[in-house]
Structures are given as C-alpha cells and as structure tokens.
Amino acid sequence: MDVLREVAVRVATRAAEHVRRRRPEVFGCEPIEGDGAVQSKSTPTDPVTIVDTETESVLRDLLARLRPQDAILGEEEGSENDSLDGARWVLDPIDGTVNFMYGIPAYAVSVAVQIDGVSVAGAVVDVARELVYSAALGRGATVERADGTQEQLHCSGVTDVSMTLLATGFGYGSGRRAVQGAIISELLPQVRDIRRIGSAALDLCMVASGVVDAHFEHGLSPWDWAAGGLIAAEAGATVRLPAADSTSAQGAVTVAAAPGVSNAFLAVLRSAGALDPIPG
C-alpha cells in the first residue's frame, strides 16, 4: 500500500504542476476564453478544458511508465474495459473545472488506485493552495504543505448536527438540481450552514481535515470520490460511497461525516429522502 500511495502522490503532484503552469497560459485574467479551450460535455454548463485533457494525458503517461500492468479509468478518456478486477487507477485530472476556468482557487487533481473496486491508496492535490492530501487503506491520512511540513488528518470533533458545517455540490443537469435544491431547503434549517465549494474531492479532504464537518452529494462519478473518500475514511469519517461500477447517471449519494455526528446526520439525510438516489 505504501508504494501505491507514493505513486499516487508522485503522479498527482506532477499533474498539479501542469495544471498550475497552464492556467495563466490558457485563461490569463479572463474567466473563459474561446478558441476551443473549453468545450461542454453532459450539459452546456458541464465544461472540459484543454487543460483537463492534457492533464489526464500527463497522468496516463506517468502511470504507463510506473505501473504498466495496471488498468486506468479517467474522467476524460474513460477506460479500456469495465472490469473491476485487479489494480485500477481512477483519475480526475481537474476536479472543480468550473472553479479552474473562473480562477476560483478550489480545484484539485485526484488520483486513486483501487483493487477489485476498493480504493487502497490515493492522493488529492489542492492545486492553488499546494496541499497534498493522501491516504492508504489502514495507514491513516496526511496532508503535506508546500514548505514540506506534514500533518496527520483527523475529522472535527463536532457532536451536534445543528452545529455541523455541511459541504455539498450539485449535478450539471437541471432535473437533478431541482431535487437537490428541495433537499437542501430541508437540510439548511437543521445544520450550522452549507458550503458549495465546487470540488467534491476537496470537500472530502476538508471533512478529513476538519475544515468542514460533513459532505454529501448525489451523482458523483468514481473519479470524484475514489481518492477523497479513502482520505476521509482514514481520517476517521463515516463514509458511504456509491458502488465502484456506478455512474453519475444512477445518482447514488456519497456521504462523509465526522464520527461525532455521523449517526444523527445520516438520520437527518434519511428523513429528507437524501439517502435515495437521484437518477439523472
């Protein structure tokens, strides 16, 4: 596991350097530039930039050299087959692409390796803040800063749902968003407050580091949660993940919560209907 974690950290860090260098080259001070730098995917509001595509190639090239025998699933290029058997790297070259485009400093490179569909090591690099979160199954989770200092990650000690700072996110389709909005209107009066940061991988790392107390979102894809879900769990969070072979369209919920509120928070989610999937 330690070797796999080192590989995850190494390739995610290199990819994050690429993202950091390319942003001013591609976008400068303007939020969105033409010339084919941005295209849309599932809906007109679901973007992919030239830097997402390049960065996935950076990750794939490095992994081909370091782990030639392993399979790869990446957000932009998919996978060669659907098998979950053996070792498979799950890549999000930029999680938080909308933030990346607009220059909001909350976007990340996410790299996990799963064995038979279970994440065993992963790294999430907060590109703008130069934070490297990582974990290996059973070995805990850490964050390393740009100055080389490292810290073990622990969830917050919150014990009261009404004092829970809750991070969430919304899908790109308006049908799912309408249901998500209705759920949020039920939850908002019951928690301390809500944050929509714009990167699920960072939301999960923020649960791990106690910066927020809980996270939930419907319709995440494996590359959104594969590394961050492990990091949160290894930091002590109670985590519920979609199945490894699930797709965003199935709309399963991802939940991570500090241990002192997890039971009560899950009960609140259940009574709001938020543990059911929102297909879309």
3-state secondary structure of 181: helix
122 lies in the binding site for ligand IPD (CB under 6 A): no
97 lies in the binding site for ligand IPD (CB under 6 A): yes
Chain positions 59 to 88 lying near Ca ion, rule: CB under 5 A, are 75
Q: Single out the segment in contact with ligand IPD by CB under 6 A; choices: 13-21, 95-103, 157-165, 208-216.
A: 95-103
Q: How far is the CB of 112 from ligand IPD (least distance, A)?
A: 14
Binding partner selected for residue 96 from ligand IPD, Ca ion, none, CB under the kind-specific 5 to 8 Å limit: ligand IPD
Could you please report the per-residue DSSP string of 201-262? HHHHHHHHHTSSSEEEEES--HHHHHHHHHHHHHTT-EEE---TT--GGG--EEEEE-TTTH
Angle between the N-to-C axes of helices 222-234 and 200-209, in degrees from 0 to 180, rounded to the nearest 10:
0
- Residue from the set 54, 92, 126, 144 that interacts with ligand IPD by CB under 6 A: 92
DSSP 8-state class, residue 139: S
d(CA 203, CA 121): 18
d(CA 230, CA 114): 10
Structure tokens given for 184:
């949020």
d(CA 19, CA 51): 7
Instruction: Report phi then psi at 142, rounded to 5.
Output: -135, 165
Chain positions 85 to 144 lying near Ca ion, rule: CB under 5 A, are 92, 94-95
Q: How far is the CB of 85 from ligand IPD (least distance, A)?
A: 26
d(CA 203, CA 10): 22
Q: How far is the CB of 261 from Ca ion (least distance, A)?
A: 29
Chain positions 142 to 181 lying near ligand IPD, rule: CB under 6 A, are 169-171
224 lies in the binding site for ligand IPD (CB under 6 A): yes
Q: Which amino acid is at 141?
A: A
- Residue from the set 126, 213, 217, 234 that interacts with ligand IPD by CB under 6 A: 217
Binding partner selected for residue 173 from Ca ion, ligand IPD, none, CB under the kind-specific 5 to 8 Å limit: none
76 lies in the binding site for ligand IPD (CB under 6 A): no
DSSP 8-state class, residue 188: G
- Residue from the set 54, 56, 95, 213 that interacts with ligand IPD by CB under 6 A: 95
Residue showing the smallest CB distance to ligand IPD in the complex: 169
- Contact residues: Ca ion, CB under 5 A: 75, 92, 94-95
- Contact residues: ligand IPD, CB under 6 A: 92, 95-97, 169-171, 198-200, 217, 220, 224
